[in-house]
Amino acid sequence: MKDKCDTCNYRYDRELGYFLGAKYISYGLAVLQGVITFFILHFSFPSLSTFFEILMVILVMTILGRKNYKLSRVLYIHIFPW
């Protein structure tokens, strides 16, 4: 992660442990994405087995987890900008 914004020089690295709270946002995003994936699969493909649905949910959560890492920090810095 960069220390400062290239455009406006905004300092991202505020203090030690500043982004600790972002993990709760990341967790919330992961749960939301997992639930949405499950419902889409469950109602779009009723013949799928529950095991396969859970497998797909885990796969989607793993793939989106890397995006959630940065997205949760962006959301966190906007919630607590000071």
Among 5, 36, 55, 63, binds Zn ion (CB under 5 A): 5
C-beta of residue 29 within 8 angstroms of C-beta of residue 68: yes
Phi and psi based region of residue 32 (left: phi greater than 0; alpha: psi -120 to 50; beta: remaining)? alpha
Whole-angstrom Cα distance, residue 45 to residue 53?
10
* x-marked contacts with Zn ion along 7-36 as a string, rule CB under 5 A: xx-x--------------------------
User: Considering CB under 5 A, how many residues would be counted as binding Zn ion?
Assistant: 4
Q: Is 81 in the site for Zn ion (CB under 5 A)?
A: no
Q: Is 39 in the site for Zn ion (CB under 5 A)?
A: no
Residues engaged in binding Zn ion (CB under 5 A): 5, 7-8, 10
